[in-house]
Amino acid sequence: MSFKIVHFRKDCIGCNSCVNIAPHSWTMDGKEGKSMLVGAKKKRDVYVGEVFDCDLEANQRAAEACPMRIIQINKGPQK
């Protein structure tokens, strides 16, 4: 089962907490100094991707740890 994750990247301050907590889903962009959701696609001003059951808990912790609150997870299953 997969879950939709939305990243408001433009507001990222590059604190690296998401990368430290969920390294399979997040990486840092060395050019801009902002985090990137692995495999996400840009839709307007946000990046949208998906995470699977095995990575959900780590990404929920990453969302909670983000000081800017720019990571949102739709906890309902995606089709």
Report how far apart the first and last C-alpha atoms of the chain are (Å, whole number): 8
Which fold, 2-77? Alpha-Beta Plaits (3.30.70)
The model scores a pTM over 0.75:
yes
Q: How far apart are CA 4 and CA 72, in angstroms?
A: 8
Q: How far apart are CA 79 and CA 67, in angstroms?
A: 30
Q: pLDDT digits over 55-77, tens only? A: 999 999 999 999 999 999 997 65
Q: How far apart are CA 8 and CA 53, in angstroms?
A: 22
Q: pLDDT digits over 18-63, tens only? A: 999 999 999 999 999 999 999 999 999 999 999 999 999 999 999 9
